[in-house]
Each structure stands twice: as structure tokens, then as C-alpha cells.
Amino acid sequence: MDPNNPTEKDHNARQDEAWPRKLWGALPWLFLLGLLIMIIILAFHIISEVNTEKERKKAALKEEVSVINVVTLEVTPAPIRDHIRLPGEVKPWVRLNILAEVRGRIVEKKVEEGSAVKKGQILAVIDSRDYDNALAQTQAEYGAARKSLQRLDELFKEQLATQAQIDDVKARVEGLSMSSDAN
């Protein structure tokens, strides 16, 4: 090999130029190989970190386990009671509303809620003062109307009152009589 020989120079020059071309052609494969090696190294690193974390959690769990209190009972055969206790409200099938004939304030309750009662039994006593006052007033008006009727009868006999006036007072007396009988 003579360096002065032109054919050998061309051959050497071509070899010097072929090396960068071969490297450039192999570059994608080299990049892919490097990437693959990095992925494998990262996978091993991740796996080792996961295993280390698992070991650390196991060790921490062993440290956290405390003494457990155990209670033992003697088992004896017994019948099983099948019942459930639940909160609730009992509602009747039939609801009866008790109404009084007159309005008023209840002053005395004779029976307790839920107790049995009989027909005609007094359940409550209503304050009667208002009705006593109304009865007394009606009776006073009735007495005044009767006296007025007596006076008009005497005046009618003397022809100082008309039959219409007597009829009005009679109607008033009868109305007050009925009213006082109803009370």
C-alpha cells in the first residue's frame, strides 16, 4: 500500500467518507437501542421502588398492630326469638272525634287518654259560667216581657193600646220562653 498511489488514495478517501455514512444510517437503530435500554432501566427502578414501598408498608403495619382484647363466651343451646324492635306510631283503624253540644273551656277531664269508656259516661266538664249568665239574662228578659204583656192587656181593656202591640209582646214572650227552655 503506497500512499502515493492514486487508486489507494481514492479507496482510503472513500473509506473515510463511508464511516460517517454508515454511522448516519445506523443512528436511528442506535437511538432505538438507547431508548430501549433506558426503558428497561426505568422499569427495574420502578419495580424496585414499588417493592421497597411494599416492604415499608408491611413493616409499618407490623408496628401498628396492637394487642387485641378478646372476649370469650360459653355457647349454650337456646331457642331463637324472632322479633324486631323498631320505632313507630300506632294509629287507630277508626278515629272518633268527640264533640260537645255547647262550646266552652274544659275545666275538668274525667278520663285519661286511651282508657275504656261506657255509653253515657261523663268525659269532661265544660265551664258553665257563660251559659249560666246567658240563661239568667234570658229569664230576666222573659220576666220583663211578661210584665209588659200584663200592662198592655190592661191598657188594651181601656182601649189605650192596639192589638198589634199586644201581638208583638206575646210573640216576644213566647220566643223568650222557648229560649229559656232550650238553655
The DSSP element (H or E) to which 57 belongs, if any, is: helix 6-64
What does the block give as the cell for 162? 192596639
Q: Cell 401498628, residue? A: 64
Q: Within 10 Å of residue 152's Cβ, how many Cβ atoms?
A: 20
Q: What is the pLDDT of residues 102-143, one digit of tens each?
A: 788 888 988 888 888 888 888 888 888 888 888 888 888 898
**Model confidence band, residue 2 (pLDDT cutoffs 50, 70, 90):** low
Q: Within 10 Å of residue 124's Cβ, how many Cβ atoms?
A: 13
Q: Which residues lie below 8 Å from residue 117, measured CB to CB, with a gap of 6+?
A: 111, 123
Answering whether pTM is above 0.85, one says no
d(CA 120, CA 108): 17
Confirm if 183 and 138 have CB atoms less than 8 A apart: yes
What pLDDT score was predicted for residue 183?
59
Q: What is the pLDDT of residues 39-86, one digit of tens each?
A: 999 999 999 999 999 998 888 777 766 667 888 888 888 888 788 888
